[in-house]
Structure 1
């Protein structure tokens, strides 16, 4: 078993690598720009949301607190007439990119740490680099990508958007696995 202390360098380097890769994905390749559609009446919808006074949070429309309510004529009519969807509201004001990027980097460190814990318990010092690549890369892929599949199943995220998220996860998994294979203790 390898201690986390022995894996601190690949943990940090892989998190930095993922951060750089995600910056390229979002600022150079920009394939996620197509994930977000614009409402034709955005100003009217925004005005209605402002008027509602809804605080930041996640909302569902139509709102159905108890599954038994789905049996009522009123609720069934709301679903038939639509719209049916999820709305995520954030605090008003410009997005705090510094905070979000810091949280993203912290998540990347956490994912690399968890991959290191599992790989360190399963692989010995001097393990074949391919084994370190496969184990940490697959764990990172699962951590970065599987949540999007749930979004496609339950929240109406388009499947092409899910596919793009999974493509990101493949890249981030490959970066993580590559760094761990390169820096695996000997």
Structure 2
């Protein structure tokens, strides 16, 4: 007998909640992500320079090169060689809206769990054993939470140590998701 998403609604919500709790523990108790970013020694001067341009919230690259064909131009190459080369994210002024961000993070975890549930429901019927579900869902959840972080180290200069920490997070979220789905996978007796 096949498994529907409706059969997995509780697993989807609980996996999302448990991942959200794991994320809170990672960021508020263990705090290994405190090493993700560094401060600039001349932060005030850089903030003044960026603020003087009044940039809208967004992602900026400097030096700016809007077309890869321009990379061959000597003046563009000089800017890159002189530096600094940076990717800058500009947020809205003010403290981060933590309530909104925490809700979005929870919704992200539920959405990832929904996609994992859909793929697992296509692959396995009611009554599939715990370890089979755990292994399948673990891989799916690791893909959902981890693999997408790798290109940021390849293309945007994020330190590989940051990538490793996010992949550790992905392993934790994958294990939490896999355990939740394996625990709540519909059995023949339900």
TM-score, length-normalised on structure 2?
0.96
Q: Which residue of 2 aligns with 1:94?
A: 95
Q: Which residue of 2 aligns with 1:137?
A: 138
1:125 aligns with 2:126: yes
Q: Which residue of 2 aligns with 1:60?
A: 61
| Aligned counterparts of 1:85 and 1:49: Cα–Cα separation in 2 | 12
| Aligned counterparts of 1:136 and 1:103: Cα–Cα separation in 2 | 22
Out of 170-179 and 128-137, give the one that drifted further: 128-137
Q: Which residue of 2 aligns with 1:105?
A: 106
Q: Which residue of 1 aligns with 2:9?
A: 8
Deviation, 1:138, is 1.1
Q: Which residue of 2 aligns with 1:165?
A: 166
| Aligned counterparts of 2:86 and 2:135: Cα–Cα separation in 1 | 38
| Aligned counterparts of 2:134 and 2:12: Cα–Cα separation in 1 | 13
| Aligned counterparts of 1:185 and 1:162: Cα–Cα separation in 2 | 35
Deviation, 1:184, is 0.4
Name the SS of the counterpart of 1:32 in structure 2: helix
Gapped runs of 5+ residues in structure 2? none
The alignment's C-alpha RMSD in Å is 0.6
| Aligned counterparts of 1:17 and 1:86: Cα–Cα separation in 2 | 33
Q: Which residue of 2 aligns with 1:17?
A: 18
Runs of at least 4 residues of structure 1 off by over 6 A? none
Q: How many equivalent pairs are there?
A: 186
Out of 137-146 and 55-64, give the one that drifted further: 137-146
Gapped runs of 5+ residues in structure 1? none
Deviations 1:67-117 (A, max 9, x none): 110000000001101111210011011110000000000000000000000
Deviation, 1:137, is 1.4
Name the SS of the counterpart of 1:43 in structure 2: helix
| Aligned counterparts of 1:147 and 1:42: Cα–Cα separation in 2 | 30
Name the SS of the counterpart of 2:89 in structure 1: strand
| Aligned counterparts of 2:87 and 2:132: Cα–Cα separation in 1 | 41
Deviation, 1:13, is 0.7
| Aligned counterparts of 1:38 and 1:116: Cα–Cα separation in 2 | 40
Q: Which residue of 2 aligns with 1:51?
A: 52
| Aligned counterparts of 2:111 and 2:135: Cα–Cα separation in 1 | 18
